[in-house]
Structure formats: structure tokens, C-alpha cells
Amino acid sequence: MLHITKRFPGIIANDDITLQLKKGEIHALLGENGAGKSTLMSVLFGLYQPEEGTIKKDGKEVSIKDPNDANDLGIGMVHQHFKLVDCFTVLDNIIMGVEPTKHGFLQKKEAREKVLALSEKYGLHVDPDALIEDITVGMQQRTEILKMLYRDNEILIFDEPTAVLTPQEIDELMQIMKNLAAEGKSILFISHKLAEIMAVADRCTVLRKGKYIGTVNTKDTTPAELSAMMVGRNVNFHVEKKPAEPGDVVLEVRNMTMASKVHKNNAVKNVSFQVRRGEIVCIAGIDGNGQTELVYGLTGLEPLVSGELFLCGQDITHTSIRKRSTMGMSHIPEDRHKHGLVLDYSLEDNMVLQRYFEPEFTDKAGFLRRKNIRGYAERLIEQYDVRSGQGPVTIARSMSGGNQQKAIVAREIDKDPELLVAVQPTRGLDVGAIEYIHRQLVAQRDEGKAVLLVSLELDEVMDVPDRILVMYEGEIVGELDPKTTTQEELGLYMAGAKRDEVKA
């Protein structure tokens, strides 16, 4: 890709960027949220047309008007937010658009054999007849990868492929990428996770604010050097915080049981714990062990099967979501698109979603005070460094994933909650933004708030909280002190190999 420039209203997403990919290499693309990585890959995949620049394949200039052109050239892409049809099977999703037919009839038998052969060859085990809506995120990702391999693509683009995976699935994916490269496939790999880039990439290209900063061989660099290239300053990987001083109980969960959507067993089984003022408690565990359902029950998204919840001493077991919010509960949700934002609303409207009815934002006649909403949104955008092309009037859908996340964090913390429930708050964020959000969580704790963190990132689990509760198969199997435990011990609890008698 030579001298690519791509502009959007109010922003130059790619400013004269040159990127060269060799055959059989894994090439990482690194940059902050909104640095232009996904845009550059979307240009290569034909989703966007650049205003300037050329693309060459095997030395010849090519024109990529749409993703079909990209596929014809052997270029495939796994998007950050998967592009799958939920009510179709895995096999139907893989062959969609290149269906094998004979006399106008669909021939699925050969397609199924090819898919099973590919999944065997690359270790991408999937059930071809399962519906997308019934399988895990890791399986959905394998389906996306098989979609590319089924089309015999030679250039594979992975956009943030590990943002939604468990540590075990990440290790498997890294191995799959190495196997593909060994076969002569060329891989472009967008990531913020420096450890992953160091582990699999041969070379790494860094973008910052839409500009090309440089390309380095990973074996000749360090994570600290890469993060400084990406953010433009040195980043502190360790969370600085003074010892916690826990006060009164803010959240009390007694004998909570939650149903499961996926199977007949309960997802959360008779769980009890407390979170006090001035402490960060982290619920750790491998994805799918009941954390999601636990949060749904706490925040009111799903009803409890049994048990009781108390916020600041008041029973909230059956109260509405709005009541929980006005009583002092904030929630940074796991799925920012489904539960965090209204994607087709402007940024300013998203900022007041839970407060628009307050006198500051609505007058006595029930009309919105637009000026106040705009001013409020501008203050949060400034304070939390939310980057968007058109400021408060930007449509949320058009923002980068990391900036969508920052907007949610800004809104939830600014409500000045008694209890902050933060679920995967740094998912898909770059090192600079992660450092910033961790500081915000610690600041909330130091102001005497209670913070409940739910995380799958081992580094975050070890670094941020004051206490760790480990969930396994819907139960809390261990309470650990991050200062005295090790990643190995934590891993054993998470895998269910150890459990202790947890103190209520």
C-alpha cells in the first residue's frame, strides 16, 4: 500500500501511509484507538476508497472497488465486530456468497467436506451445523477464519482478533496464525497487545493519529519502545496505588442464583459476597463461568432465580434499572454495542442516556435543554480525551471502538456513583487508554466509592484490585490477595483445579 490517504468529515484517518507485506510473514499493525488501523485495512479490503495512493499486489497495481474484488485478489478479513448471520449455521456463514451450486441447486456436501478438511488441517475445530447465536465468541472467530480459508485467500487481515478471547483461545489463535504463515499465507494483524505482537509478529508497523511512525523488526525491539512509538510518550505498565482502606459495605449479595440462557443448569449458584467503600474487588474467571449472568442480575438486566441484593443497606432485588442507577449504581457493560450505546444516536445524546430526565437536562415542560446537554458532553469529551470527527454531534457508530468505550467510561464515572460495576472496561483499548482507565478506577476507590471489576485479562486482575474473587462454573471458588498470590495459583483456581472455603 503506497501513500494511502483517506479522509472523513472533520478527520484525516490515514495521512500518506505506506505499508509493505512480504509473503509468508506475520506483520503487526499497532496504534492507539482511532490511529487509523482499521480504516487502512478497510481500504485494502475494498470497504473504503482512498482519496490518494495506490495498492500493488505481486508488483502489479490493482484496483479494489469492493470486498468481492479483494476476495478475487485473495485478500480476506476477520473484522473486530464479526460479520456473521446469527440465525444461520456455521457452514452457511462460511459458504455465503460463494455457494457451490449444480443446475441452480445448492450442493452443501462438497462444501461441508472442504470445511471439515480445512478445520482439521489448521486445528480450527467447529461444528458446521451449530447456529452462530448458540456458539461462543471464540467459535465465531474460527468461523470467520474458515470463511477466509474456504475462499483460498492468501492475504489474511485480522482486526483485533484477540479482544474477545480467553487466554487459552488466544494461545490457540497464535498457533493457528503461525501455521498459516508457515504455509506461505501473509498475515496482517491489528493489535494493541504488545505481548501478542512480540510473540507472533515478524515485523510491526506503528501508526499514530493517522500518520506513519515507522516499521521495526520485532526481534530487535522491546514492548516499552513500541508503546512509546505508539503513544508518543513512555507508558507506565504498573498501576500506582496506595493500600486500600475499606469502609462500610456498599454492595451485599446474598445467596444469588441466576438462570442460564444456554443450558438447563443455573449459571450462578448461590453466590454471596460484599464490596465495601474504598476497595476494588475483582471477579476473575475464564469466560462463560457465570460472570455475565452475575452482572446482569446485579444491574437489573435479568431477574434473579433466588437470593437478595442490597445497595447501601437498601434491598434492590426487584427494583428497576433506572432506580438502581438513581440510587448510585453505574455500569460499564461488557458489550458496548448492545448495552452501552445507542449506536445511531449522537455522542452527546449517549452521554445523557441515564440522566436526560434530570432538571439540568430537561425543563419543567418536559423539553430537553439542548444547550446544557451540549456543554455537558463537551466537558466529558475534553476531560476523558474522547476522540471523534465532529465532537458532540458525531454519530456513535462512526467512532473507533476504543473511543466508544471511553465515552461509556466517562458517562458512568461522571454520575458520581456509590458503586461502579466495570465489566471488561479496557477491552480493545490501547496501552495509553488502559493506563488512563485504571487510574480512574483507583481514583474512584480513593474517593471512597466501591468498585466491582469483572475482567478476563490476567494482568488487569493481578494489578488493579485489592481483592480477587475467582468464579468457576457459577460458584466463587477462591478469594485471593493480589499482593500475595501468583498468576499460576490464580490460573489453577480459574481452571477449577483448586478451591478454598470462601468466607462470606
Q: Given its phi and psi angles, is residue 175 left (phi above 0), alpha (psi -120 to 50 degrees) or beta?
A: alpha
Nearest CA to 168 out of 195, 132, 146, 138 is that of 138
Alpha carbon distances (Å) from 395 to 17, 390, 392, 400: 26, 9, 8, 11
Contact 207, 36 (CB under 8 A): yes
Residue with the bigger pLDDT between 459 and 21: it is 21
Judged on CB neighbours under 10 Å (0-12, 13-18, 19+), 343 is middle
pLDDT of 432-472, one tens digit each?
Answer: 788 888 999 999 999 999 999 999 888 889 999 999 999 99
Amino acid in position 194: L
SS3 state at 158: strand
- Which pLDDT does position 323 carry in this prediction? 95
Confidence at 314, pLDDT banded by 50, 70, 90? very high
Confidence at 166, pLDDT banded by 50, 70, 90? low
Alpha carbon distances (Å) from 430 to 17, 55, 109, 190: 20, 28, 44, 11
pLDDT of 225-251, one tens digit each?
Answer: 888 888 787 767 678 888 889 999 999
Confidence at 163, pLDDT banded by 50, 70, 90? low
Integer Cα distance of 471 and 149 in angstroms: 36
- Which pLDDT does position 402 carry in this prediction? 81
What is the average pLDDT across 183-191? 90
pLDDT at residue 138 greater than cutoff 80: no
Integer Cα distance of 229 and 223 in angstroms: 10
- Which pLDDT does position 504 carry in this prediction? 38
What is the average pLDDT across 347-370? 94
pLDDT at residue 398 greater than cutoff 90: no
Contact 452, 271 (CB under 8 A): no
- Which pLDDT does position 501 carry in this prediction? 53
Integer Cα distance of 123 and 190 in angstroms: 22
Residue with the bigger pLDDT between 88 and 457: it is 88
What is the average pLDDT across 92-97? 88
- Which pLDDT does position 294 carry in this prediction? 95
Judged on CB neighbours under 10 Å (0-12, 13-18, 19+), 47 is middle
The domains found in the chain, sorted by start residue, are 2-231 (3.40.50.300), 249-494 (3.40.50.300)
Residues of the chain with pLDDT > 70, as a percent, come to: 97
Residue with the bigger pLDDT between 302 and 160: it is 302
Concatenate the DSSP letters of all residues of 280-327 into one string.
Answer: EEEEE-STTSSHHHHHHHHHTSS--SEEEEEETTEE-TT--HHHHHHT
State the pTM of this model: 0.70
Residue with the bigger pLDDT between 467 and 191: it is 467
What is the average pLDDT across 121-138? 81
Integer Cα distance of 270 and 258 in angstroms: 8
Residue with the bigger pLDDT between 34 and 397: it is 397
